[in-house]
C-alpha cells in the first residue's frame, strides 16, 4: 500500500502535467506524510541531492558542449568527417553518422547533437539528392551515440542515481564500444540503403583541404583527450576534467575559431542555465523521492517481484529492456534514470549483473526512447530542424530502430561489449 501511495501519486501528478521534478517532490512529501517522516528530513535530502562535488560534472559538460556547439564546432567536424568518408556511395549519410560520433565526444547530449549536426547536414544532404526524411532519420538516430560516447552527462546522472558507488570514469570507458557499435550499425544500414536507393557518391577531398579540415577539427577533439586523459591518468577527477574542458572550449572558441561574438555569451549562459537547472532540480527532488522509496523498502519489494517471475538473468534483462523501452517512449531520459536506477539496480545486481554493464543497457534503452514517438526530445528537435512531421518519421524510421535494437541486444547479452574496455584500465 505504501508503495502504491508513493508511485501512484508520482504517476498521477506526472499525468496531470506537473513537471516531473516537482511531481517527484510532491510524491516524496505525500509518501513522507503517509509513513510519518518529518518533512524537514525530506527537505534536507532534497538539498543533499545537489550538494555533491561529482554532480558538478553535469553543468560543466553541458556548458563545454554548448560553447563548442555555438562556436562552430559542428561545421568543422562535418568537414573533417567528409574528408574521411564523404567519397563513398551514400557518403553524406556516413558523414552525418561520423560527425555525430565526433560531436558526441564533445557534447554528450543527443539533443545538442541533433540540433547542431542536423542544422548543417540535413540541408546539405537534401541538396545532394538524399530524401529529407532519410537525412532526418540518420541525424536523430546517429545522435544517440552522444549518450554513450564519453563524456555523457547521462552517465554521470546514472552514477549519482546508483548512489555514487559506480565510478564515472568506468562508465565513460564502458560507453565507448557500445557507442561505436551503434555508429557502425547505422553506417552499415546507410550503406545498404544507399546502394539500394542509388544515393549519390561524394568527391575525394584534395589533400591540402583535408589537412586543413583535420587541423581545425583537432582543436575541438582535444577536449575529449583532456577529459578522458585527465581522468585516466589520475590528474583530474571527472568534475575537474569537465571544468578544465569548459575553459579549454571557451579559449578555443573565442581565440582560435573566433566564430562567436563576446556580446552573445550572456545568451549562451542563459540557455545553459535553463538546460542545466532542469536536470539539477530533477536530481534534487529525486534524492528526496529516493529517500522515501528506500524507507518504504520499495527496491527490495521490486527485486522480490522480479525474482518471482524468473531467476534467469537473461529473462529478467529481457523484461527490463521491454519495460525501459516502453517507459522511454513516454518520458524523458534524465527523470527515468533517476526513478528507475534505484529500483532496478538491486534487481540486476542480485542476479550478478555488473552495475556498469546495466548502466549501458539503461542508456541505450532510454536513448532509443529519445527518438521514438510520442515523447522523444531528440525526435522533436530533429523534426523541427528537418521541417518534417513526426508521422513522416514514424513511417520511415523502422530500419533504424531495428539496427538500434540489434545493438541493444548485443550490449545486453554480451557484457564484454561494455566491460572489456574499462577492464583494460583496471576498472
Partner 1 sequence: MKAAYAKAMDALYLLCVSIAGCSLVVMTVIIPWGVYRRYWLNSAAAWPEPASVLLVILFTFLAAAACYRAGVHISVVLFTDALPSSLRRVVGLLSDLAMALLSLFMVIWGIQLVDTTWNQVIAEFPFLSVGITYLPIPVSGALTLMFIVERLWIGPPSRTSFVYREPADIH
Residues at the interface with partner 1 (CB under 8 A):
13-22, 25-26, 29, 39-40, 42-44, 46-47, 50-53, 55-56, 59-60, 63, 70, 235-236, 239-240, 243-244, 246-247, 264, 266-278, 280-282, 284, 330-332, 334-335, 374-375
Residue 288 CB, shortest distance to partner 1, in Å, is 11
The pairs formed by 111-114 with CB atoms below 8 angstroms and a separation of 24 or more are 111/143, 111/370, 111/377, 111/378, 111/381, 112/65, 112/66, 112/69, 112/146, 113/142, 113/143, 113/145, 113/146, 114/139, 114/140, 114/143, 114/378, 114/381, 114/382, 114/385
Residue 241, all three cell numbers: 576534467
Residue 314 and residue 39: Cα distance in Å, rounded? 41
Considering the complex, state which of residue 280 and residue 324 has its C-beta at the smaller distance from partner 1. Answer: 280
Give the closest residue to 134 by CA, choosing from 97, 84, 184: 97
Residues 83/104, Cβ–Cβ less than 8 Å: no
Q: To which residue does cell 586543413 refer?
A: 212
Residue 171 CB, shortest distance to partner 1, in Å, is 20
345: CB partners within 8 A, 6+ apart: 162, 299, 355, 358
227: CB partners within 8 A, 6+ apart: 150, 151, 172, 241, 242, 245
Considering the complex, state which of residue 150 and residue 335 has its C-beta at the smaller distance from partner 1. Answer: 335
DSSP for 287-322 reads HHHHHHHHHTTHHHHHHHHHHHH-S-HHHHHHHHHH
Residue 389, all three cell numbers: 512531421
Residue 220 CB, shortest distance to partner 1, in Å, is 18
Residue 143 and residue 186: Cα distance in Å, rounded? 11
Considering the complex, state which of residue 235 and residue 402 has its C-beta at the smaller distance from partner 1. Answer: 235
Considering the complex, state which of residue 47 and residue 209 has its C-beta at the smaller distance from partner 1. Answer: 47
Give, rounded to a whole angstrom, the gap between the first and last alpha carbons of the chain: 40
Considering the complex, state which of residue 86 and residue 376 has its C-beta at the smaller distance from partner 1. Answer: 376
Considering the complex, state which of residue 211 and residue 330 has its C-beta at the smaller distance from partner 1. Answer: 330
Residue 105 and residue 74: Cα distance in Å, rounded? 12
| CA-atom Rg of the chain in angstroms | 21
Residue 124 CB, shortest distance to partner 1, in Å, is 18
Considering the complex, state which of residue 75 and residue 357 has its C-beta at the smaller distance from partner 1. Answer: 75
Secondary structure (3-state) at 417: helix
Residue 394 CB, shortest distance to partner 1, in Å, is 15
Residue 20 CB, shortest distance to partner 1, in Å, is 5
Considering the complex, state which of residue 48 and residue 311 has its C-beta at the smaller distance from partner 1. Answer: 48
Residue 413 CB, shortest distance to partner 1, in Å, is 31
Considering the complex, state which of residue 24 and residue 193 has its C-beta at the smaller distance from partner 1. Answer: 24
Q: What are phi and psi of 245, to 5 degrees?
A: -60, -35
Residue 294 and residue 312: Cα distance in Å, rounded? 25
Residue 374 CB, shortest distance to partner 1, in Å, is 6
Residue 203 CB, shortest distance to partner 1, in Å, is 29
Residues 386/126, Cβ–Cβ less than 8 Å: no
Give the closest residue to 359 by CA, choosing from 369, 351, 349, 371: 349
Residue 343 CB, shortest distance to partner 1, in Å, is 18
Considering the complex, state which of residue 101 and residue 241 has its C-beta at the smaller distance from partner 1. Answer: 241
Considering the complex, state which of residue 97 and residue 284 has its C-beta at the smaller distance from partner 1. Answer: 284
Residue 205 CB, shortest distance to partner 1, in Å, is 26
Amino acid at each position: 500500500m505504501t508503495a502504491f501511495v508513493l508511485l501512484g501519486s508520482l504517476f498521477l501528478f506526472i499525468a496531470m502535467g506537473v513537471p516531473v521534478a516537482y511531481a517527484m517532490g510532491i510524491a516524496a512529501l505525500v509518501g513522507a506524510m503517509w509513513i510519518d517522516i518529518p518533512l524537514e528530513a525530506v527537505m534536507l535530502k532534497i538539498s543533499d541531492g545537489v550538494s555533491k562535488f561529482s554532480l558538478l560534472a553535469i553543468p560543466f559538460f553541458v556548458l563545454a558542449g554548448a560553447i563548442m556547439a555555438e562556436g562552430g564546432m559542428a561545421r568543422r567536424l562535418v568537414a573533417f568527417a567528409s574528408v574521411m568518408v564523404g567519397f563513398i556511395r551514400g557518403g553524406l549519410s556516413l558523414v552525418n553518422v561520423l560527425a555525430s560520433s565526433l560531436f558526441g565526444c564533445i557534447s554528450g547530449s543527443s539533443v545538442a547533437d541533433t540540433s547542431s549536426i542536423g542544422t548543417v547536414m540535413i540541408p546539405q544532404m537534401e541538396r545532394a539528392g538524399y530524401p529529407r526524411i532519410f537525412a532526418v532519420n540518420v541525424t536523430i538516430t546517429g545522435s544517440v551515440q552522444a549518450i554513450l560516447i564519453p563524456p555523457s552527462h547521462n552517465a554521470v546522472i546514472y552514477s549519482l542515481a546508483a548512489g555514487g558507488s559506480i565510478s564515472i570514469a568506468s562508465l565513460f570507458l564502458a560507453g565507448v564500444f557500445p557507442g561505436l557499435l551503434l555508429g557502425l550499425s547505422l553506417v552499415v544500414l546507410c550503406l545498404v540503403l544507399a546502394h539500394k536507393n542509388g544515393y549519390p557518391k561524394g568527391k575525394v577531398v584534395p589533400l591540402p583541404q583535408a589537412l586543413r579540415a583535420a587541423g581545425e577539427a583537432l582543436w575541438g577533439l582535444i577536449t575529449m583527450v583532456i577529459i578522458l586523459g585527465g581522468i585516466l591518468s589520475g590528474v583530474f577527477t571527472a568534475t575537474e576534467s569537465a571544468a578544465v574542458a569548459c575553459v579549454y572550449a571557451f579559449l578555443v572558441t573565442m581565440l582560435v575559431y573566433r566564430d562567436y561574438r563576446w556580446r552573445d555569451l550572456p545568451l549562451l549562459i542563459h540557455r545553459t542555465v535553463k538546460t542545466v537547472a532542469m536536470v539539477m532540480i530533477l536530481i534534487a527532488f529525486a534524492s528526496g523521492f529516493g529517500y522515501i522509496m528506500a524507507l518504504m523498502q520499495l527496491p527490495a519489494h521490486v527485486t522480490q517481484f522480479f525474482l518471482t517471475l524468473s531467476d534467469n538473468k537473461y529473462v529478467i534483462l529481457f523484461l527490463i529492456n521491454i519495460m525501459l523501452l516502453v517507459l522511454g517512449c513516454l518520458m524523458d531520459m534524465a527523470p527515468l534514470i533517476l526513478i528507475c536506477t534505484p529500483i532496478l539496480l538491486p534487481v540486476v545486481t542480485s542476479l550478478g549483473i555488473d552495475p556498469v554493464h546495466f548502466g549501458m543497457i539503461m542508456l541505450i534503452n532510454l536513448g532509443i526512447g529519445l527518438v521514438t514517438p510520442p515523447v522523444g526530445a531528440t525526435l522533436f528537435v530533429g523534426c523541427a530542424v528537418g521541417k518534417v512531421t513526426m508521422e513522416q518519421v514514424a513511417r520511415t524510421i523502422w530500419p533504424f530502430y531495428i539496427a538500434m535494437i540489434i545493438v541493444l541486444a548485443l550490449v545486453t547479452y554480451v557484457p564484454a561489449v561494455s566491460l572489456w574496455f574499462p577492464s583494460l584500465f583496471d576498472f
